[in-house]
Structure 1
């Protein structure tokens, strides 16, 4: 009997699955042998109950399956770790150029967006077993050149979950509808996108048909599966677990979303104002970026044009709403569907994530609490990362433990019914910003008291959008906003803190302001400073109403002397460098290589931006919930309105001797799609902030 055919079973010690299964790499191309590989690999095509591309059949959704051989041979039933990630089947890296190529195309008719929800079901001629499918599988089905991204290889995340494979879990990866190997159109934030992944959970649970081929002749069951699934992943892959969870699908026992999106509107916008990177403001940009099916050589020109028409209509639909909330955003507002949640969640987010803002984790937390489901949160001081970055070979320790060990314990409980204390984790485990080796255990994210910050200034302040006069650019924005007043910003200070103060939650900054000056008849003389495509640039005017007269609000920690802090160091606010503390200090087990244990590199500055947010002066009714940004007004110079700006949630300790600064400014060059000319008058005495304190 060979090593590969040993009847291995999952082993659990200290509440966790142990690395007792051998491993064979899946990237070995011609050297991969399905008959001897310790991990059995193959692809399936799950039939959805919708048809987006109009061929009358349910769209097929490709999934790449990796199963320990012992489970595939029927010795035990494996639980599944499922990552739903549209990028994994390839991307179209020419997104910016593409948007310019199609900017002059007319808006296709609404027929281009018609979706058939009653397609003809398939009728397979026979069923084949997992081992039959695996022995016929071609490694080129999951490891192939990404024709839309140069020399990159598809399913580049094939190694991300090796930790779980050697512990007996199956790993399933899918890029979803509209990606290479699947049917249909990539439709970011839609119910179809969500349901394409829900269908895979249903197949794993035994409730939906899948095929071993795209001809729909040979059906295949997940005969190795115990029917229990945990969804996880970062960013887009951290978004889809929450989306699928709102459907209440059977078999989805828990999710571990990392830096996931709860609501697509407030990912791109904030209280009526644009917040994301300028060139990516159209949802159709991301839809095209992920539409690897566009590069399928088997497509006819007519089929390829249909994809372009679908995305072009998608652009025009978003342009109708501008930067305000509308029905366009409802399918992607998963917070509205919390009553459908049936699973638990372990939510992970970085407190310095400027890609997917921290408001997203907080809204997800509120949704699980509303659904009365078990939910825990882990917050680290990093940017848009996973605590273990398998593709980079490093990770950070969480309260002295490896991240994957924590997740292992969590999903062992929910997927294998292991009795451990996973559910007794603190409600929130958060890395301290003063001492990153300290992790604070918090019983509840909600705090019992607010510190009311009140401005000591009187009179009024006028701020404008003249970057040159203020000496402000992308590289120095945070520094100058924190340390200097200018024609673009006004700072409001607290007294020096007598003791350390810990902020926890969403700070609400309140003030009265009015449009002072600006030519509204010319849309405030917009400039395309980022050279974006025409449709993106017209987001601010296509709705036909006054839009995106932006204010930027920051809460800063300032001191007389430089102090160490964890901050992003690049103009786009994406990068916090890490330094290796313990080479090979993160053990993956089995034959897998160890990762380096790293810590975040600190910088010494007299300031740290604790949190920020944006608001459109045209949306005085806008509040915390995304849907409150639906109503907007036409600003009249001199006509004052009251605003409540909800800053992105934070957990931050201000040390004794430091001061808090509330900063109100106009445009943020980093996140400025349309540079406009206007000025705003602020009533200084009206500036207040409700700051939740521990």
Structure 2
């Protein structure tokens, strides 16, 4: 068990005392005491919130041990001196660590160091020493991955503050839960966007759901956490399933072209808009409310800390106007229209009929965006507009270019587990106006026309980058970003693949904003309820600085790059950069079944493989992707006998590494290949070969509904990546795909002559990977990827000219 805390601000003793007084740990009952033991007893009394009498308090004290043989209550009565060992023996129990299994009562300081919990080293000899130790303890994480003060908050510590709260309260640079979540005000308004995407002659109105502190009614101005979620008003699962595309189609030869980027570059075109609605009046109170939103638990945490939270599904969703056009500029405009209203720069109405204006009078005009996947994507999109009022964007598992989500290297390439999905399918799934039949009747015919156009423009026939995809590439506008950026992504996320965050990080290098990057070992997930990392605290420090203006050194305290280690549980490392230009490179030549250092002569001339399977095997793999993956990567016989993919891929391996090695960034391949038809594709997987118990890529639930932002409030599961129970022989590190006719880039199509050799360069998805000593790197070369590419099962034969193939491995 390892604790990793980055959001603890070091403050001077005067600030510590001031903050302890502000949260009522120092008061008159402490002021008149000098003995540290007596002070400690009063502080402990304030934490045992369930005790309403002295008898119960003493009873509860004796549930803890001060030494291996003395209970805490008895120790406090004995008047023995307080030592650091005794303080931290009790502290570990207060932090919910278990005696004997988590730490030994005789060695509490050793345990604090091993778990990586902060500790004071100077002896606790005075009242001042004790208060300093207590301050640090309140900032320290419990076994359940929340600060001790947050644990007390969850127990009800701040409930008594509710009636007196008029402004946020900060402790250690972070906002505290002094706002009553049961007094939240829920409003619905309709923001008028500068769009008419449904072509009805009226500007689109967007439904916005607001949760704000009751104190805003008395003049408090709240900063806003805004989540733009197209899923917020519902999803059309059945319609989406029906719209899925058939991927069992043959790869086709493409017509060569000599396009350059200027030919396909998207230039925004202005279109005439209907006039703004005539405002018929203004009111302060909303006409509409709602019972329950589709929440994000990180937002829930901040609802009790003085923040307002806003959700909007955007154009084409239930109760809003417009249509969905996945990734289009109109989606971005729809997203920032809400920010503009929150910042006082756009109009909203109390309903969709009366034209009565309502302002965001309760907002302090400082906005952060939050959310994962499509939600994080729209946060990125909004940031690239430089919209006024957006101070920071937290983009988790976000798309930076839609081409890199649904395509790869001139190929149709599905996100993981979503074979057959595309832009039109996603638009159908989130077009929740469909769920209001009366409203859908008015728009169905036009939306069907839009879907027809999308199906044509997305171009599943060629997989080329085009004007359509350039329109949906947010990287084109990164230079406009003014908001500070926090990017979170899974290194095992094969839904929104790592190239999306990798390209965004690189594009931001020269943009004059603060940027932070967190790379974890998971798939397509949130990380705000993990035990080993203080992500919620980090975001509290960040938001308190960005939206409240608190001088808490957030930009200096939070690491620029934070990466979870893939070999050990609960281990995180800080770095200055990812994909650093300063990295060195290991160059390998291809040899028969080997990857050899560049200095080693190559003897083998060629190797080949087929892309065709017998129909029975082909159909089996389509239904059993896990078996296909196993057979693809396994070099020996499986349990059923002969490996059915033996002739359908090539595997090249290094010798065993003699020391731990860190791969950092984009692995580059130089390949010379021929195919027996005038078309073809290649797929690649970089693999860690070596027996090991590896981390799960899906988090394990450690404690169900164990975490909450405050007392009697919504709860979340405590999660963590844990070691697999069984040893596995390999793990895929990263992958990549390319159409052989897109040898130069994704939009230029080159002629491909059957059986002629061609040189091409392929960059695999960026990664960061800790390869253990004794393991081998393997490169698997194949064609059809059953989980990603089209599956034509064609009679294709590929040949590699081995002595002209290389792999460049970036090494930190």
TM over 0.5: yes
Q: Does 1:163 align with 2:301?
A: yes
Contact 1:463/1:666 (<8 A) preserved: no
Q: Higher mean Cα deviation, 47-56 or 667-676?
A: 667-676
Give the equivalent residue in structure 2 for 1:207: 345
Give the equivalent residue in structure 1 for 2:597: none
Distance between the aligned counterparts of 2:709 and 2:767, measured in 1?
31
Q: Which among 548, 552, 565 is matched to residue 420 of structure 1?
A: 552
Distance 1:254 1:117, change over 3 A: farther
Q: Does 1:454 align with 2:454?
A: no
Matched pairs, number: 599
Q: Does 1:589 align with 2:734?
A: no
Give the equivalent residue in structure 2 for 1:221: 359
Distance between the aligned counterparts of 1:127 and 1:298, measured in 2?
29
Contact 1:466/1:487 (<8 A) preserved: no
Contact 2:203/2:274 (<8 A) preserved: yes
Give the equivalent residue in structure 1 for 2:510: 370
The alpha-carbon deviation at position 444 of structure 1 amounts to 1.2
Q: Deviations over 1:456-486 (max 9, x none)?
A: 3322121222245799651123333333272
The alpha-carbon deviation at position 398 of structure 1 amounts to 4.5
Q: Does 1:119 align with 2:285?
A: no
Distance between the aligned counterparts of 2:334 and 2:403, measured in 1?
21
The alpha-carbon deviation at position 436 of structure 1 amounts to 2.4
The alpha-carbon deviation at position 563 of structure 1 amounts to 0.7
Give the equivalent residue in structure 2 for 1:540: none
Distance between the aligned counterparts of 1:577 and 1:689, measured in 2?
33
Distance between the aligned counterparts of 1:164 and 1:427, measured in 2?
23
Contact 2:207/2:319 (<8 A) preserved: yes
Contact 2:562/2:572 (<8 A) preserved: yes
Distance 1:375 1:437, change over 3 A: same
Please report the RMSD computed on the Cα atoms of aligned residues, expressed in angstroms.
2.5
The alpha-carbon deviation at position 159 of structure 1 amounts to 5.6
Contact 1:502/1:693 (<8 A) preserved: yes
Distance 1:283 1:47, change over 3 A: same
Structure 1 spans left out of the alignment, 5+ residues = 25-37, 103-113, 144-154, 389-394, 521-545, 569-575, 623-628
Q: Higher mean Cα deviation, 651-660 or 451-460?
A: 451-460
Give the equivalent residue in structure 2 for 1:692: 810
Distance between the aligned counterparts of 1:435 and 1:512, measured in 2?
38
Distance 1:137 1:674, change over 3 A: same
Aligned positions of 1:221-370 closer than 5 A: 221-277=359-415, 279-299=419-439, 301-319=441-459, 322-370=462-510
Q: Higher mean Cα deviation, 219-228 or 299-308?
A: 299-308
Distance between the aligned counterparts of 1:615 and 1:286, measured in 2?
24
Give the equivalent residue in structure 2 for 1:19: 177
Contact 2:689/2:729 (<8 A) preserved: yes
Give the TM-score of the pair, scaled to structure 1. Answer: 0.82
Distance between the aligned counterparts of 1:567 and 1:300, measured in 2?
43
Q: Which among 637, 640, 644 is matched to residue 757 of structure 2?
A: 640
Contact 2:385/2:481 (<8 A) preserved: yes
Give the equivalent residue in structure 2 for 1:67: 212
Distance between the aligned counterparts of 1:100 and 1:82, measured in 2?
31
Q: Which among 216, 221, 225 is matched to residue 81 of structure 1?
A: 225
Give the equivalent residue in structure 1 for 2:729: 606
Would you identify which runs of 4 or more consecutive aligned residues in structure 1 move more than 6 Å?
Answer: 2-5
Distance between the aligned counterparts of 2:245 and 2:749, measured in 1?
32
The alpha-carbon deviation at position 321 of structure 1 amounts to 6.6
Q: Which among 608, 615, 625 is matched to residue 474 of structure 1?
A: 625
Give the equivalent residue in structure 2 for 1:396: 530
Distance between the aligned counterparts of 1:70 and 1:490, measured in 2?
66
Distance 1:80 1:316, change over 3 A: same
Distance between the aligned counterparts of 1:123 and 1:347, measured in 2?
41
The alpha-carbon deviation at position 353 of structure 1 amounts to 0.7
The alpha-carbon deviation at position 673 of structure 1 amounts to 3.0
Contact 2:613/2:793 (<8 A) preserved: no
Q: Deviations over 1:157-190 (max 9, x none)?
A: 2666211100110000011011111111111110
Distance between the aligned counterparts of 2:299 and 2:723, measured in 1?
30
Give the equivalent residue in structure 2 for 1:409: 541
- 3-state SS of the aligned residue for 1:397? coil
- 3-state SS of the aligned residue for 1:669? coil
Distance between the aligned counterparts of 1:631 and 1:661, measured in 2?
31
Contact 1:482/1:558 (<8 A) preserved: no
Give the equivalent residue in structure 1 for 2:779: 662
Q: Does 1:578 align with 2:700?
A: yes
Contact 1:454/1:689 (<8 A) preserved: yes
Q: Higher mean Cα deviation, 683-692 or 236-245?
A: 683-692
Distance between the aligned counterparts of 1:421 and 1:4, measured in 2?
28
Contact 2:186/2:289 (<8 A) preserved: no
Give the equivalent residue in structure 1 for 2:202: 57
